[in-house]
């Protein structure tokens, strides 16, 4: 990829995104998402070549964690450092927010100290309420219904391996009503990929999120397919993705979920129906022997550690456009 200087159209896109919230992928247009992917790839190349890219000198990002994390914390923290800024880790246990201070008051106070806030929490309404009271950009590090920061890295990874995203077939097999599925549906629709989701009955995607994504997909001439049949979903897929069957906060549903989702395991027999050159993605952590077998996640088609690395570069692109004035 060329390291050419940003052109006038790029500057316009960056200007439009500056200061915005990033709560879902659908908050941004197709051209903005495509620009973020391109910028992430450029920043990755700059890092590999040792080219300085300190666009955020003097900027500070606050990071609020109500859910623990590995990749989210490290990618945003290191990303801010490499961009010349600083990240401040804010555990919910250490904030007045965890002892009764309102979300609105916390957002207003932090807006006076920081240049942006990244929040990883449970209820999506929490981050929406925070953003409505904040005067600085708010980034969704994960909620129960959306994981846009992860899927931005997934889109970047697919772009690296497959080139043009438009027209590719992506399939997600597993729990259709989770944050990864919802953000993947939005990301596919925005980039013109066809996506097929296979999940058991009563595990289908949220209808409101799905309806919005269908509208975007129609505009971009691509399709969203829901099925209960994993073989139908994976047929001739370019990209195969899954996630854990019980996420944080769903531990009491573990036994039932294991029973319902067992037929949706990603294994060698199932993957033989994908294209011969398919790639396998997983946001991690993975439970080998549950949602995916070791022969797949550790096999020749896996790109999960490139995907994990790309969290850093994708998050840097996001931080640059939202915080760099």
Known binding residue 284? Answer is yes
CB contact set of 44 (below 8 Å; sequence gap of 6+) = 310, 313
The CA distance from 230 to 172, in Å, is 9
Known binding residue 196? Answer is no
Instruction: For tokens 């992917």, name the residue.
Output: 37
The CA distance from 211 to 230, in Å, is 22
The CA distance from 219 to 78, in Å, is 37
The string of DSSP letters for 225-261 reads EEES-HHHHHTT-SEEEE--SS-TT-GGGHHHHHHHH
Known binding residue 70? Answer is yes
Residues 154, 175, 238, 243: which is the catalytic one? 243
Is 283 among the residues known to form the active site? yes
Known binding residue 69? Answer is yes
117 and 136 Cβ atoms separated by less than 8 Å = yes
The CA distance from 246 to 253, in Å, is 7
Is 86 among the residues known to form the active site? no
Known binding residue 12? Answer is no
Residue 263: strand, helix, or coil: helix
Strands 60-65 and 239-242: unpaired
Residue 305 to residues 71, 162, 281, Cα–Cα distance (Å): 11, 16, 9
Known binding residue 71? Answer is yes
Known binding residue 286? Answer is no
The CA distance from 294 to 262, in Å, is 15
Residues 124, 146, 147, 257: which is the catalytic one? 147
Is 120 among the residues known to form the active site? yes
Residues 171, 222, 271, 283: which is the catalytic one? 283
Known binding residue 149? Answer is yes
Is 112 among the residues known to form the active site? no
Known binding residue 219? Answer is no
Residues 182, 257, 282, 311: which is the catalytic one? 311
Known binding residue 120? Answer is yes
Residues 115, 124, 150, 154: which is the catalytic one? 150
Residues 82, 120, 146, 171: which is the catalytic one? 120
Q: What angle do CA 320, 26, 261 make, to 5 degrees?
A: 110
Known binding residue 247? Answer is yes
Known binding residue 311? Answer is yes
Known binding residue 96? Answer is yes
Is 223 among the residues known to form the active site? no
Q: Which residues are annotated as a binding site for L-ornithine?
A: 179, 243, 247-248
Residues carrying an active site annotation: 120, 147, 150, 243, 283, 311
Q: Which residues are annotated as a binding site?
A: 69-72, 96, 120, 147-150, 179, 243, 247-248, 283-284, 311
Q: Which residues are annotated as a binding site for carbamoyl phosphate?
A: 69-72, 96, 120, 147-150, 283-284, 311
């Amino acid at each position: 990829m060329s390291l050419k200087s940003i052109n006038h159209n790029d500057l316009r896109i960056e200007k439009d995104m500056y200061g915005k919230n990033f709560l879902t992928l659908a908050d941004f247009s197709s051209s903005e998402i495509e620009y973020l992917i391109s910028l992430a790839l450029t920043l990755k190349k700059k890092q590999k070549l040792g080219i300085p890219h300190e666009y955020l000198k003097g900027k500070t990002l606050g990071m609020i964690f109500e859910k623990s994390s590995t990749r989210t914390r490290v990618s945003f923290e290191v990303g801010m450092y490499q961009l010349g800024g600083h990240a401040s880790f804010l555990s919910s246990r250490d904030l007045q927010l965890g002892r009764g201070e309102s979300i609105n008051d916390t957002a207003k106070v932090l807006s006076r100290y920081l240049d942006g806030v990244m929040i990883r929490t449970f209820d999506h309404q929490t981050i929406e309420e925070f953003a409505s009271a904040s005067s600085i950009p708010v980034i969704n590090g994960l909620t129960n219904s959306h994981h846009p920061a992860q899927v931005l890295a997934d889109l970047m990874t697919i772009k690296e391996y497959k080139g043009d995203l438009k027209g590719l077939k992506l399939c997600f097999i597993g729990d259709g009503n989770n944050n990864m599925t919802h953000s993947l549906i939005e990301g596919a629709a925005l980039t013109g990929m066809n996506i097929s989701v296979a999940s058991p009955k009563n595990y289908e995607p949220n209808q409101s999120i799905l309806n919005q994504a269908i509208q975007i997909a129609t505009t971009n001439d691509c399709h969203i397919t829901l099925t209960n049949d994993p073989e139908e979903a994976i047929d001739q897929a370019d990209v195969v993705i899954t996630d854990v069957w019980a996420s944080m906060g769903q531990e009491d549903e573990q036994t039932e979920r294991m029973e319902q989702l067992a037929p949706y395991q990603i294994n060698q027999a199932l993957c033989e129906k994908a294209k011969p050159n398919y790639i396998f993605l997983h946001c991690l952590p993975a439970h080998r022997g549950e949602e995916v077998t070791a022969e797949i996640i550790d096999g020749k088609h896996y790109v999960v550690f490139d995907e994990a690395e790309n969290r850093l570069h994708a998050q840097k692109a996001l931080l640059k456009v939202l915080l760099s004035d």
